[in-house]
Amino acid sequence: MTPGQKFREAVRRERPLQVAGVIHALAAKLAQQAGFRALYVSGAGVANASFGKPDLGLTTLEQVAEEVSRISGATHSFTAPGSPVPWVKVEHTKGGKEVTVESGVKEWLILKSTQSGFEGYPKCEFTTLPETNDRIFATAVTAGWKWTREPKSYTESNRRILEAMSGPFLEKFSPSVQTTMYQMGEEALKACADISEVSLAMPNKHCLLFNLKPFGMENPNVIFTATDEPHGQIEAVIRRT
């Protein structure tokens, strides 16, 4: 289940749902042991407990998000604050009746620091890429979905689609970008019957282990360098059959 699905299930099971305010991971564990199904983190709590500052807007959204990631335990899957950026495209021919609607997101920056690999792929005499069962997976997703009919609420439907697409990335081991891409599209189609297809583009955002051997030092998976080379533009369209 995705975090959103877990929260809705908690709301269904406990009426009214008691939500405990916590300020760090230890407080969250104590609240969990006390039986609370849901927690919340405030900006004031992070400012006071983590930085020793008053609640005067001195802490950033990134700092609050970092504290939330510690509390939730989602320490290997990240998305950048402020992403993704939603978009919509509507086409209508003058004098015609048909209206085509497509919506989606862009600049969705996601990263897994582990739980990702790439092995067992076809090879030839020119293959130089080594196999791995543990690597950093990072990309900037552009996604779109086509509507076959107008939903009750575009806002709510788009939210459910995006939440469903997040599931495979957050919760499953990624054997390849291509596999995760297909799973994300598949979950989006399951989440909303009003869309007919999902298109995804996920360019490589490599995080390569930095070679410290020329300096007489080892690098035990500590320092990485970000690069988009060798460039790879991975795209797919997942349609209903």
> How many domains, the chain?
2
Say how far apart CA 207 and CA 216 lie, in whole Å: 22
Of the candidates 21, 48, 74, which is a domain's last residue? 74
Please indicate, yes or no, whether residues 168 and 120 belong to a single structural domain of this protein.
Answer: yes
Pairing of strands 19-21, 38-40: parallel
CATH of residue 116's domain is: 3.10.270.10
Same domain, 149 and 53: no
DSSP state of 166: H
pLDDT by residue for the chain (241 residues), tens only, comes to: 666 777 888 888 898 999 999 888 788 888 888 889 888 888 888 888 888 888 877 777 767 777 777 777 655 777 777 789 999 999 998 888 889 999 999 999 998 888 899 988 999 999 988 898 888 899 999 999 999 999 999 999 999 999 999 989 888 899 999 999 999 999 999 999 999 999 999 998 888 888 999 999 998 888 888 888 878 899 999 999 8
Domain that holds residue 22: 3-74
Do residues 197 and 237 touch, judged by C-beta distance below 8 A?
Answer: yes
Residues 66 and 91 in one domain: no
Same domain, 62 and 103: no
3-class DSSP assignment, residue 208: strand
* Structural domain includes residue 80: no
In a domain, 32, yes or no: yes
Residue 203, strand partner residues: 233
Torsion angle of alpha carbons 170, 145, 240, 173, nearest 10°? -10
In 59-116, alpha helices (H): 61-72
State whether 8 and 95 are in the same domain: no
Residue 118's identity, in one-letter code, is F
